[in-house]
Amino acid sequence: MAWNAPVPFASWVMLSGVLFSIGAVGFLIRKDPIIMFMCIELMLNAGNLLFIAAARYLGIMAGQVFVFFVMAVAAAEVAVGLAIIVAIFRTKSTIDVDEMSGMRG
Amino acid sequence: MIGDFLWLIPAFPLAGVLVNGLLGHRLPRMLSGTVACLAVLGSAVVSVMGLLHLLQTPAGQAREIHQTLFPWISTGSFQTSVSLMLDPLSAVMACVVTGVGFLIHVYSTGYMAHDPRYHRYFTYLNLFTFAMLLLVLADNFLLMFVGWEGVGLCSYLLIGFWFQKPSAAAAGKKAFLVNRVGDFGFLLGMLFIFAVFGSLDYRVVFDKVAAEPGAITATLTAICLLLFVGATGKSAQIPLYVWLPDAMEGPTPVSALIHAATMVTAGVYMVARCSILFVNAPAALLVIAIIGAATALFAATIGLVQNDIKRVLAYSTVSQLGYMFMACGVGAFAAAIFHLMTHAFFKALLFLGAGSVIHGIHEEQDIRRMGGLMKWMPITGFTFWIGTLAIAGIPPLSGFFSKDEIIWYSLAGPMGHWAFWAVGVVTAVLTAFYMARLTFKTFHGQPRMPEEIRSKIHESPLSMTTVLTALAVGAVFAGLVNIPEAIGHRLHLPENSIAAFTHFLEPSIVEKKEAALLIANAAGNAPVGFVRPAPHVDHALELPLMGLTFVLALLSIALGASWYVRRPGTATALAARAPALYSLLLNKYYVDEIYSAIIVRPGMAFSRFLWRGVDVLIIDGLVNAVAWFFGIASRLFRVVQSGYVRGYAAGMLAGALIVIWVLSR
C-alpha cells in the first residue's frame, strides 16, 4: 500500500468506534466531572470524525455541516456545564459526582 | 338635557364606593364620611332635577327619558344593553332613595363616629345606594336583576357589619339565604318572560302584553306568581319575611335605610312597574292581595308584644309592606307607591329615633328598661311622636292619606273585597296601638333604667337631631301631594292639587279604571273561576269610613296611654290572663321554630349525609384510590432514580446498545 493511498472507509469507522468506546467507558468509570467532560468531548469527536469520513467518501457536504453544529453545541454545553460545576463546588465544597445524588427518588 | 345626565345618578355613589373602598383607610374619618354624603347628595340633586323635568313636561307628551350607556349582552336573538329610564315611577323612587338615603348618610356620620371600620361602612352604604338606583332606573329586567342582587349583597354585608357578634353574622347569613330563595323565583320569572316574549326590555314586554289584553292569561299568571315569589323575599312577605326582624342586628341607620325605607320596597316597586302584567293575571293579583293582607295582620299582632324597640319597628315594617302589597293586589298600584313614599319618611324617622334612643342610653334596646326619656331627649321624643302619629294615620300627617287610600281601595278597588277592608282597618288599629305602646313605654311614665345609667343619658349630637327634624317635616307634609278626591272636593281645592301624585304616576302604572277593565277582561279568560271584579261601592262612603279608621286609631292611642302610662300594670295583668296567646305572640307564632324543624334541620341532615356519605366516602374515596394506585406503582419505578449520574449514563448506553442491536438484526 502506497504511503499516500487513501485510507479505507472501514478504518475510519473502526477508529471512530474505538474513540467512542474509550469516551463511554471513561465517562462510566471516572468520578471527576472534569474528566467526564473530556470523555463526553471524546465521544462527540468520535461522532464528528465519522461524519467527516462519510461526507468525504459519499461526496455529500451535509455531514460537514453537521459537524459545525456539533462543535457549536458542544462549546455551549461545556460553558454551561463548567458553570454548573463551579456552582456545585461553591455549595458542597466538592465536585465528586457520587456526592451529587440529591435527586434520588 | 337631563336625558344625557341620567348616568350621573348611579355614578355618584359608585364614585363614592371607589374612593372609600380603595383609599378609605388612608383618608381621615371626616373626609371619608363627607365623600359618602356628597356622593349621595349629588345623585339626589340630579334625581330631583329629573323629577322637576318630568313635572314640567306637558301631560300630553311622553314623560319618559331613556339613556343607553352601552350594549351589554348581544348574542343572536338576545340583545340587552345597559340603559337607564326615568319615568314618573322611577323618578319618585330615585328621589326617595337618594333623599332619605342622604339624610341617613348624614345621620350615620354621627352614629358610627366611633366605629373602627368607618370607611368600610360608608363604602357599603354607597354601594347599596348605587345598586338600589340601578334597580329603580333600569329599563330592562336583567339590569334590574343586577341591582336586585346588589342590594341583597349590601344588605348581607351591612346586617353582618358587626360580624364579631355571632348573632349578627347569623342574621346576615339568614337574610342572604332567605333572599336567595326569593331571587330564584324572580330569576325563573325573568327566564319565563324571555321565553314567552323574546326580550327583557320593559317596553317590548309591556307593549306586547298591552297589545293583546287577556290573550295569555295562564302564562302571565305563572310569570307574575314567580315574580311575586321574588318580591316576597326582598320585601319580607309571608312566607319569606323571617329574615327582616333578625336584620335588626345591623347598625340602626342601616335598619332605617335598607330594612325600612328603601330596599324592602323593591318588591313593591317591581310589582308596580310590571302592573300591566299583573292586571292581566287576576289570579296572581288575588294571591298578592291575600298574602299582603295576611302579612299586614300577622306582623302587626306580633308587634303588639315585642320588647325590643327595633324589633317592634321591624314587625311594623313587615306589616306596612303587607299594606302596600294588599294595595297592589286590589289593583291600586299608585296607592301602594304613595304609601311606599310616605312610609319611607316616617319609618326612617322612627328607626333613626330608635337609634338616637339606643345611642343616648348606652346601647339599651329593651323598652322594659326605658321610660320617661322625654325629659332627657326632647328632640328625639318629639320627632318620634310625629313618626308615631304619622304611622298611626292621624290627619293631616302623611300616613293618614296613604293608609286611608289603601284601606279605601281595598274595598272599592278593582279587586276590592270587604274582607280586605276589614283586615286593613284592624291592622290600622293594631298599628296605632303598638306604636302608642312603644312610644309611651319609651318616652313617658316612670324611668325604669338602672340608676348609674340615668345620669349619663344625653340627647344625640346635632348631626343626628337635624336629620330627625328633616325627616319629621317629610313625615308631616309628604301626604299632601296626594289629597284624596273625597276630601279635596269637599274643601273645594283646585282640581290639579287633588290626587296629584296618582295622576303623576299614571304614565308608568296602569290607572285604576283601566285596571278594572283589564282585570274584568282577563278574568273572563282566567283559568280560575273565583276572580271577580269588585262590585260598585258608593263614593259617598269614603269620608265616613275615613273618619271611622281615624277615630279607631285615636281610641287605640288613648288605650295605649291608659295601659302603659296611667295604670302601668294593666298590660301585664292582661298577659297573665291569656298566657298561651301571649307567649304565642311573644315567640312570633313559633315560625322560626317551625321553619327550623321542617326546612333547616332536614336540610342540615341531608347536607350532613352529602358531606359524610357522598363527599367523604364516595368522591374523596375515589380520588384517594387513584392516588393510592399511583403511589404503589411509583414505589416500584422509583428504584431506577438512583441519583448517580453515571448510573443514568450506563442506562443510556445500555439503551443505545439495545436499539442498535435491534436495528442491526
Query: Does B605 lie at the interface with A, CB-CB under 8 angstroms?
Result: no
Does A95 reside within a domain? yes
Does the beta-carbon distance from B646 to A24 stay under 8 Å? no
Q: How far apart are CA B194 and CA B176, in angstroms?
A: 26
Q: According to the model, what pLDDT value does residue B532 have? A: 54
From A102's Cα to the closest Cα of chain B, the distance in A is: 6
Kindly report, residue by residue over B478-489, the tens digit of the pLDDT. 988 888 888 888
Task: Enumerate the residues of chain A whose CB falls inside 8 A of the CB of residue B643.
Answer: 100-105
Task: Enumerate the residues of chain A whose CB falls inside 8 A of the CB of residue B644.
Answer: 97-98, 101
Q: Which residue of B has its CA nearest to A99?
A: B644
Does the beta-carbon distance from B641 to A105 stay under 8 Å? yes
Q: Which residue of B has its CA nearest to A102?
A: B643
Band the pLDDT of A96: cuts 50, 70, 90. confident
Does the beta-carbon distance from A105 to B643 stay under 8 Å? yes
Q: Which helix (H) or strand (E) holds B663?
A: helix B645-664
Q: How far apart are CA A14 and CA A46, in angstroms?
A: 10
Does A1 reside within a domain? no
Length of chain B: 665
A-B contacts (CB, under 8 Å): 30
Helix ranges (DSSP H) in B304-332: 309-329
Cβ atoms < 10 Å from Cβ of B139: 23
Does A71 reside within a domain? yes
Query: Does B497 lie at the interface with A, CB-CB under 8 angstroms?
Result: no
Task: Enumerate the residues of chain A whose CB falls inside 8 A of the CB of residue B645.
Answer: 36, 97, 100
Does the beta-carbon distance from B653 to A28 stay under 8 Å? yes
Task: Reply yes or no on whether the pLDDT at A30 is more than 60.
Answer: yes
Q: According to the model, what pLDDT value does residue A1 have? A: 61
- Angle between the B217-234 and B141-159 helix axes, to the nearest 10 degrees? 20
CATH of the domain at A33: 1.10.287.3510
Facing residue for B644 by CB, picked from A24, A36, A98: A98
Strand partners, B66: B85
Strand partners, B366: B308
Q: Which residue of A has its CA nearest to B639?
A: A105
Q: According to the model, what pLDDT value does residue A93 have? A: 87
Query: Does B635 lie at the interface with A, CB-CB under 8 angstroms?
Result: no
Facing residue for A27 by CB, picked from B639, B644, B649: B649
ipTM over 0.85: no
Which residues of A fall below an 8 Å CB-CB distance to B?
A: 24, 27-29, 36, 97-98, 100-105
Task: Enumerate the residues of chain B whose CB falls inside 8 A of the CB of residue A27.
Answer: 646, 649
Q: CB–CB of B473/B358 below 8 Å?
A: no
Task: Enumerate the residues of chain A whose CB falls inside 8 A of the CB of residue B650.
Answer: 28
Cα Rg of chain A (Å, integer): 18
Cell numbers that stand for B433 in this block: 296601638
Facing residue for B642 by CB, picked from A24, A27, A104: A104
Facing residue for B643 by CB, picked from A28, A29, A103: A103
Cβ atoms < 10 Å from Cβ of B460: 24
Distances (CA, A) of B160 to B168, B240, B318: 5, 19, 20
Task: Enumerate the residues of chain A whose CB falls inside 8 A of the CB of residue B631.
Answer: none
Task: Enumerate the residues of chain B whose CB falls inside 8 A of the CB of residue A101.
Answer: 642-644
Q: CB–CB of B44/B102 below 8 Å?
A: yes
Which of B347, B357, B340 has its CA nearest to residue B388?
B347
Q: According to the model, what pLDDT value does residue B529 have? A: 45
From A105's Cα to the closest Cα of chain B, the distance in A is: 5
Facing residue for A28 by CB, picked from B638, B642, B650: B650
Per-position b or e across B467-490, b if 16+ CB within 10 A of its CB: bbebbbebbbebbebbbbebbbee
Q: How far apart are CA B429 and CA B120, in angstroms?
A: 41
Query: Does B644 lie at the interface with A, CB-CB under 8 angstroms?
Result: yes
Task: Enumerate the residues of chain B whose CB falls inside 8 A of the CB of residue A29.
Answer: 646
From A100's Cα to the closest Cα of chain B, the distance in A is: 7
Cα Rg of chain B (Å, integer): 29
Query: Does B641 lie at the interface with A, CB-CB under 8 angstroms?
Result: yes
Q: How far apart are CA B38 and CA A2, in angstroms?
A: 108
Does the beta-carbon distance from B641 to A97 stay under 8 Å? no
- φ, ψ for residue B85 (rounded to 5)? -140, 135
**Pick among A34, A98, A99 to test the B interface (most B CBs inside 10 A):** A98
Residue with the bigger pLDDT between B347 and A92: it is: B347
Task: Give pTM, 2 decimals.
Answer: 0.81
Per-position b or e across B250-264, b if 16+ CB within 10 A of its CB: bbbbbbbbbbbbbbb
State the amino acid at position B141 in one-letter form: F
From B631's Cα to the closest Cα of chain A, the distance in A is: 13
Q: How far apart are CA B630 and CA B632, in angstroms?
A: 5
Does the beta-carbon distance from B649 to A102 stay under 8 Å? no
Q: According to the model, what pLDDT value does residue B385 have? A: 95
Q: How far apart are CA A9 and CA B478, in angstroms?
A: 112
From A43's Cα to the closest Cα of chain B, the distance in A is: 12
Q: According to the model, what pLDDT value does residue B535 have? A: 57
From B635's Cα to the closest Cα of chain A, the distance in A is: 9
Does the beta-carbon distance from A105 to B638 stay under 8 Å? yes
Does the beta-carbon distance from A97 to B644 stay under 8 Å? yes
Query: Does B656 lie at the interface with A, CB-CB under 8 angstroms?
Result: no
**Pick among A20, A21, A22, A27 to test the B interface (most B CBs inside 10 A):** A27
State the amino acid at position B165 in one-letter form: K
Cell numbers that stand for B552 in this block: 279607631
Does the beta-carbon distance from B640 to A105 stay under 8 Å? yes
Kindly report, residue by residue over B279-296, the tens digit of the pLDDT. 888 889 999 999 999 999
> What's the domain range around A15?
9-100
Does the beta-carbon distance from B643 to A100 stay under 8 Å? yes
Does A62 reside within a domain? yes
Q: How far apart are CA B240 and CA B232, in angstroms?
A: 6
Does the beta-carbon distance from B643 to A24 stay under 8 Å? no
Question: Which stretches of chain B score pLDDT less than 70?
Answer: 1, 524-536
Strand partners, B86: B65
State the amino acid at position B133 in one-letter form: L
Cell numbers that stand for B36 in this block: 359618602
Q: How far apart are CA B263 and CA B347, in angstroms?
A: 13
Does A88 reside within a domain? yes
Cell numbers that stand for B243 in this block: 329574615
Q: Which helix (H) or strand (E) holds B79?
A: strand B78-86
Instruction: Kindly compute the dihedral angle of the four CA atoms of residues B205, B208, B209, B211, in this order, to the nearest 10 degrees.
Output: 150
Which of B92, B96, B94 has its CA nearest to residue B12?
B94
Cβ-Cβ contacts under 8 Å for B562 (sequence gap 6 or more): B570
Q: Count up the domains in chain A and report the number.
A: 1
Q: How far apart are CA B227 and CA A45, in angstroms?
A: 83
Residue with the bigger pLDDT between B334 and A6: it is: B334
Cell numbers that stand for B56 in this block: 314640567
Does A3 reside within a domain? no
From A17's Cα to the closest Cα of chain B, the distance in A is: 13
Does A65 reside within a domain? yes
From A71's Cα to the closest Cα of chain B, the distance in A is: 21
- Eight-class DSSP state of A7: P
Task: Enumerate the residues of chain B whose CB falls inside 8 A of the CB of residue A98.
Answer: 644, 646
Q: CB–CB of B376/B364 below 8 Å?
A: no
The vertex-B659 CA angle with B654 and B662, nearest 5°, equals 125
Does A2 reside within a domain? no
Q: CB–CB of B478/B341 below 8 Å?
A: yes
Q: How far apart are CA B259 and CA B240, in angstroms?
A: 14
Cβ-Cβ contacts under 8 Å for B600 (sequence gap 6 or more): none
**3-class DSSP state of B340:** helix
- A3-20 average pLDDT score: 89
Facing residue for A28 by CB, picked from B638, B640, B649: B649
